[in-house]
């Protein structure tokens, strides 16, 4: 299944400058794995040594934070959009 992933400015240099990439996967974890397989420079930015999503990284599927869904096990289907965003202050 082809899923669109939106990358923030800070990660685009590791993905040949692209703002969106298409990768395969049936859940968010598989999408992330496909992403880092295609662009190995992203691995250490997204995941810690244990394979968990790093603290300052927020991953959204169709704009919902996956931490409140099934985290990396959250299923994705054709047409879904995964967005990766750094945590940013407000106020």
Partner 1 sequence: MAVYSSITELIGNTPIIDVSHLSPNPDVRILAKLEGQNPAGSVKDRIALAMIEAAEASGELVPGRTIIEPSSGNTGIALAMLAGLRGYKIKIVLPENVTPERRQVLEAFGAEIISSPGAEGSNGAVRMAQALSEANPEWVFLYQYGNEANPTAHYETTGPEILADVPDITHFVAGLGTSGTLMGVGTYLKEAKPEVKLFAVEPPSGERVEGLRSLDDGYVPPVFDKWGGLDLLDGKRIVRPAESIEWTRRLITDCGIFAGLSSGAALAGAVKVAARHDAAVDGPAVIVFVVCDGAWKYLSTGAYTSPLADVVENLGDTIYF
Q: Which residues bind partner 1 (CB under 8 A)?
A: 6, 8-11, 45-46, 54-58, 60, 63-65, 67-68, 83, 85-91
Among 79, 62, 72, 64, which residue's Cα sits nearest to residue 35? 72
- Which residue, 17 or 89, is less far from partner 1 as judged by CB? 89
Q: How far is the CB of 26 from partner 1 (least distance, A)?
A: 22
Q: Is 3 helix (H, G, I), strand (E, B) or coil?
A: strand
Q: How far is the CB of 38 from partner 1 (least distance, A)?
A: 18
Tokens of 89: 């202050």
Q: How far is the CB of 2 from partner 1 (least distance, A)?
A: 21
Q: How far apart are CA 28 and CA 34, in angstroms?
A: 10
């Amino acid at each position: 299944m082809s899923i669109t992933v939106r990358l923030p400015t800070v990660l685009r240099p590791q993905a040949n400058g692209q703002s969106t990439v298409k990768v395969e996967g049936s859940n968010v974890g598989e999408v992330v794995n496909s992403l880092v397989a295609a662009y190995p420079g992203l691995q250490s930015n997204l995941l810690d040594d244990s394979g968990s999503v790093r603290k300052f990284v927020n991953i959204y599927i169709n704009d919902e934070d996956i931490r409140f869904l099934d985290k990396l096990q959250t299923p994705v289907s054709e047409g879904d959009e995964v967005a990766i965003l750094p945590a940013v202050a407000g106020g």
